[in-house]
Every structure is written in structure tokens, then in C-alpha cells.
Copies of this chain bind each other. A is one copy, B any other.
Amino acid sequence: MERSQTQYVLLGILAIHPNQSGYEIRKTIEQSVGFFWGESFGQIYPTLKRLVAEGSIVASASKSKPTARRQEYSITPRGREALERWLAIPYREDPPRDEFLLKLFFANEAGPDVAIAHIRRFQERNRQILTTLEQIEAISRPHGSQFAGYRYWMLTLGYGLAHIRAVLAWSDTVLADLAANPEAPAAPSLGAERVTSPIPHE
């Protein structure tokens, strides 16, 4: 609970766009930060209650859509302070885990066809995301800076585009290499003179 990031996502989203229900918040998350962040209902609803109890957000009956169950939330000055405090501290790296790269790394145990299948899947998925991100970019550009925070949205979008374009280009060269030269020469197993990569972790 102390270092749960979920609360700050909720605060941040409500800071940008108040008077949303839990259900709506989740949609907003999907549609804005969805390509690098996800939240589940099982996490959202309890956290909203906790934030209300702490006074970081307030709940109110919906005015725009007065249905029976719907609750709307807005950030309070206290919530804004909490958000700003959190934003100011250095981001933490959580331990990286990329199953795609892991399976590719071990692909020698399974053969090049398996590697190729994974890479094709990787390409399909990332081409799809790239198309989406490019559409957002195209739609947003004429809009100009229509809302606060637009600039930073564009920055994160730019990250996504740069990342995906780079790894898609990489995947093309990899596929070409695997197709041109399916069987790599066999060799002794990783032994005494192995090369290592001491990547610094936090």
C-alpha cells in the first residue's frame, strides 16, 4: 500500500480529468497510458475507497449521468499535494521481465522455427500498436495543444513510436538473418571463457 503505484495513477488521471467513475477511469487509463500502463478493477475500486478515506479524492453522485450505482470522483488539494510529491521523487525501475526476449535467448534449445514464430508474433503485435499510435499522432497534431498535459502526452507517445520503430527494424534484420541462415554452427557449451554482461541494477 505504501509503494503501490496504482493510487498515483488514479490521482493523476483525476487531476487531468475530474468527475469520473471507477469504470470510466479504467477506460481513460487504457486510452491514454494504455501502451505502457495497465490497471485492473480489482485494484481500482479498493484503491478509490482508500483514497476517499484518506481525503485525497472525494466521491459524489453523478450530475451528468445520474444513474443508480454510479459514483464520481474528483481530486482534492490534499490529493494534488500527494501526487506532486510523488511526481517529484525519482522514478523507480522495477525489475525487467520480458518473456519474448527470454524465449528468444533460449531459442537454441528449441530451434530456429520456434524463434521465427515468436518474432512473427512480436512483429504482428507491434505493427498493430504502431498503427494505433501513428493514428493518434495524426489526429492529435492538427488539434494543437488543446488541453493541459497535451505536451507530455505527446512526449510519451513519441517514446512509444521511437521504441516500436526501432524494435520493428531490429526484428526485420533478425528474421532475414534466420531465414538466410537457419542453422547456426554448433559449438561447445557456455564455459570457462564466457563473456558476461554486468548490467547495473538498483
Q: Which residues of A contact B (CB under 8 A)?
A: 5, 8-9, 12, 15-18, 30-38, 80, 83-84, 87-88, 90-110, 114-115, 117-118, 121-122, 125, 128-129, 132-133, 136, 139-140, 143, 145-153, 155-159, 162-163, 165-167, 169-170, 173-174, 184-191, 193-201
A-B contact pairs, 27 of them (CB 8 A): A17-B191, A30-B198, A31-B198, A32-B197, A36-B101, A37-B96, A38-B201, A87-B103, A87-B114, A90-B118, A90-B121, A91-B118, A93-B100, A94-B99, A101-B156, A104-B159, A105-B155, A143-B195, A147-B188, A147-B191, A148-B189, A149-B189, A158-B174, A159-B167, A162-B166, A163-B163, A163-B167
| Complex interface: chain B residues within 8 A of A35 (CB) | 96, 197, 199
User: How far is the CB of A118 from the nearest CB of chain B, in Å?
Assistant: 6
Q: Is B114 a contact of A187 with CB atoms below 8 Å?
A: no
Give A91 to B114 CA distance when docked, in angstroms. 11
Shortest Cβ distance from A103 into B: residue? B91
Q: Is A201 a contact of B166 with CB atoms below 8 Å?
A: no
| Complex interface: chain B residues within 8 A of A110 (CB) | 84, 87-88
Q: With A184-B151, A190-B17, A196-B31 in contact, do A83 and B104 touch (Cβ < 8 Å)?
A: no
Give A159 to B99 CA distance when docked, in angstroms. 13
Q: Is A197 a contact of B12 with CB atoms below 8 Å?
A: no
Other-chain residue from B32, B87, B136, B188 in contact with A148 (beta carbon distance below 8 A)? B188
Give A158 to B136 CA distance when docked, in angstroms. 29
Q: Is A97 a contact of B36 with CB atoms below 8 Å?
A: yes
Q: Is B38 a contact of A195 with CB atoms below 8 Å?
A: no
